[in-house]
Amino acid sequence: SSHATGYNSNRILAPYSVYKGKAAFSLTPSLPTFTKLHSGAVVVDRRGSIMVIFMHAIGDRKYDWENRQRFALSATEVGSLLTMGPQDSCEFFHDPSIKSSNAGQVRKSLSIKPHANSNGYFMNLTVVNNLLNTKEFFSVPVTAAEFAVMKTACSFALPHIMGWDKMTHQQSTGGTVGLQS
């Protein structure tokens, strides 16, 4: 059956995308993975995140998917986004090579800054790669309405990327599990 062909063959993709003149970005929830311990308990193996993908515009409504850059927002970074008021800003720093021999060679920073003349924001990504000697910068203006969609969708997704949906549903699905008879 198609289920036997594995996870990737049935992957559902529904990113929330904001396409603007010079660049675009999209948000996609990335669920945690779990691992079963000898005790039988199932614990989080790799944490979930909200994956943000930036692309440069390379023509009229065309974006450079090949050279996209990624930034995975952790649960706590999503919490920062959720608390932002109209004048607030925030900035996150990631090192994709942390704990490897290349630590410090690539530095990524994602910042969200309020727009001076509206109640929207700028989503900015800077990627400095000392190995390739490159520096990339993406900046996408986000309207207040688009940011409201981001907040509502991220608020919905947060318990899922934390794995809390699995904890709250585990007793529901097992029939009499958790019920005394």
Rounded to 10°, the helix 144-162/75-83 angle is: 150
**Which residue, 86 or 104, has its beta carbon nearer to its own copies?**
86
Stretch that binds its own copies, among 64-72, 110-118, 127-135, 171-179 (CB under 8 A): 171-179
One-letter amino acid identity for 72?
Answer: A
Burial of residue 132 (number of CB atoms within 10 Å: 0-12, 13-18, 19+): exposed
Q: How far apart are CA 139 and CA 17, in angstroms?
A: 14
> By CB under 8 A, is residue 45 in contact with its own copies?
yes
Q: Give the nearest distance from C-beta 117 to its own copies in angstroms.
A: 17
Among 31, 19, 98, 92, which Cα is nearest to 62's? 19
Structure-derived torsion over alpha carbons of residues 101, 106, 110, 111, reported in degrees to the nearest 10: 110
When binding is defined by CB under 8 A, the residue of 53, 62, 76, 123 that contacts its own copies is 76
> By CB under 8 A, is residue 87 in contact with its own copies?
no
When binding is defined by CB under 8 A, the residue of 56, 68, 80, 136 that contacts its own copies is 80
Q: Which residues bind its own copies (CB under 8 A)?
A: 2-3, 5, 7-14, 16, 28-29, 31-36, 39-45, 75-80, 82-83, 90, 143-149, 152-153, 155-160, 162-172, 174, 177-181
